[in-house]
Chain A
Amino acid sequence: MRRQAGAAGPYLLVLPGGLWLAVFFVVPMAVMLSVSLQTGNVVDGFTQTFNFRIYADAVTTYETQFIRSLIFGLIATVATILLAYPMAYWIAFHAGRNKSNYLFLVLLPFFVSFVIRTVSWKFLLADDGILLGNLKDAGLLPADFHVLATSFAVVAGLTYNFFPFMLLPIYVALERVDPQLLEAADDLYANRREVFGRVVLPLSMPGVFAGFLLTFVPATADFVNAYVLGGTNTTMIGNIIQTTYLTNADYPLASAVSFILMAVLLIGIFGYARLLGTRDVLEMSAR
């Protein structure tokens, strides 16, 4: 009896949640693929035509936005690595008993909605706002200087919003470094630079990789920062998906664009996961 229950047990535990994910995550992907190969419009309805050319059309039409999104995502991700690493290093090795307090402070932005944080930056960076307005009044900036509606504003917004996703995995990886290894390196007359370059940095790379994944994917696919902080020249592929779906109701084209975006990102993700193992990345992301 018990052995039988044991065999069915894990399936019963996993089934309800797994079913929910299957129906509302996996099936929608298949449906979206099918929608992308339909032709028609909202008024007359859509018919399945297997119009594969739409994928080529989507790429040529939105090439600029695809490339811009990848570049913005990449710059923001590299910026978060450079900004987060020294801080994660200090917290992991020198914050002592206050480690968890510092981590809590890093997580504070998450208690405010993503949209509101971004709106708050728009407000801070406004042409006549509290930052630029005062600097202009003091004569430190030319009157026509502006930050909003530039690529810089969008990339800065992305960097800000995804910073904790980079800091936490790097911190976790650094925290795991055995202090005895550092002592051993010191005993072997390695100088500080060598200890860092040959011991600490290599051991923290899994954290950087996990952080890269957790930052690059959402930053590349984001459209909130480009909408709130950007202008007409900073439109990202996420904005295209949103307007094509919700405003233009061109479901096949929007689905095709979404699919291309996901394919590009997922190939990267799974390449990554192969390299590192899904479990490590998942556990890092759960922190």
Chain B
Amino acid sequence: MTILDAAPPRLGPAGEDRSRSGRRSGRLGQRLLHAYTWLILLWLVLPIIVMIVFGFNDRVGKRNNTWNGFTLRWWGELFAIPDLTTALVNSLTIALLSTAVATVLGTLMGLGLGRHSFRGRGGVELLMFANIAAPEVVLGASLLSLFITMGVPRGYLTILIAHIMFNISYVAVVVRARLAGFDSSVEEAARDLGAGPFTTFRLVTLPLILPGVVSGALLAFAMSIDEYVITTFNAGSTLTFPLWVFGATRVGVPPQVNVMATIIFVAGVLLALGNALLLRRRRV
């Protein structure tokens, strides 16, 4: 309302005139902004296109930075570097396991925060906020301090613990966001009809919040498979895919990395599109 009050009314033909010419320049502005949007999108996907294309490059020598013709060799020799393959398998299993645990814990947390008001809720929200807002390098370094002090050897298990830690808050936030407008009378109805708490959850609550849970799980998986900073502090000698690639940057990244990243990229895009389609169909 204050915004409306602040705009001084201006009347008369001069004002109308200006508004009409303003509309015309507005259309030009729109077209420019449209072009600008595509320019930015090109900038965003440029490194991805290069990554995909150079997975087909018949490179000579150690450096893969000039185009030497098309080949499918790297797709055929995808698993020719044993360490890289191990790193990729580690990344995939860690992503799966951490997503599973974080989705369960995060969903419960999201439900608790979204459906109930209780003493200490503000504290829990602050905890999640700090967890999401804290810089990754500090999360990684502090967790390493804990493991060093407790004498815990770093490796697969400590990476898993770290990934669950940074994923819980994200899942909880996504699930809670989907709870907005949740009608709890359907749960009461189920209970009145004699369903126990677990049956109610399984048959009523879970199907209703499932889109949020799936989105949270997809986000967790994507974050885990992508994560470098926290992982490098807590990995010991275990390598994940991003860790292996980081280590290879100074000596030259082999084309197999391009191919693997391309496969992960395509699979991720298809999964996200599939989820979006499913959600759209459910809504109809």
Contacts and interface: CB of A to CB of B under 8 A. Distances in A.
Nearest to B122: A278
B137 A111 contact: no
A279 B115 CA distance: 15
Interface stretch (A7-15, A52-60, A139-147): A7-15
Q: Is the interface of B mostly helix, strand, loop or mixed?
A: helix
B15 interface: yes
Contacts of B164: 20, 24
Interface of A: 5-6, 9-14, 16-18, 20-22, 24-29, 31-32, 34-35, 83, 86-87, 89-91, 94, 100, 102, 104-106, 108-117, 119-124, 126, 128-130, 133, 160, 163-164, 181, 184-186, 188-192, 194, 198-199, 202, 213, 217-218, 220-224, 227-228, 238, 241-242, 245-246, 251, 254-255, 258, 261-262, 265-266, 269, 273, 278-279, 281-283, 285-286
Nearest to A2: B191
B249 A119 contact: yes
A17 B253 contact: no
Q: Is the interface of A mostly helix, strand, loop or mixed?
A: helix
B45 A109 contact: yes
B68 interface: no
B128 A251 contact: no
8 contacts: A21-B165, A105-B41, A123-B50, A191-B19, A198-B3, A202-B3, A258-B138, A283-B173
B248 to A, nearest CB: 9
Given A28-B146, A94-B30, A286 B135 contact: no
Query: Which 7 pairs show the lowest CB-CB distances between chains A and B?
Result: A13-B112, A221-B135, A120-B47, A10-B116, A28-B142, A17-B109, A17-B105
Contact of A16 (B108, B125, B142, B249): B108
B226 A110 contact: yes
A181 B249 contact: no
A128 B226 CA distance: 29
Contacts of B161: 24
A83 B40 contact: yes
B124 A20 contact: no
B99 interface: no
A115 B54 CA distance: 16
Nearest to B168: A17
Contact of A26 (B4, B127, B129): B127
B245 A31 contact: no
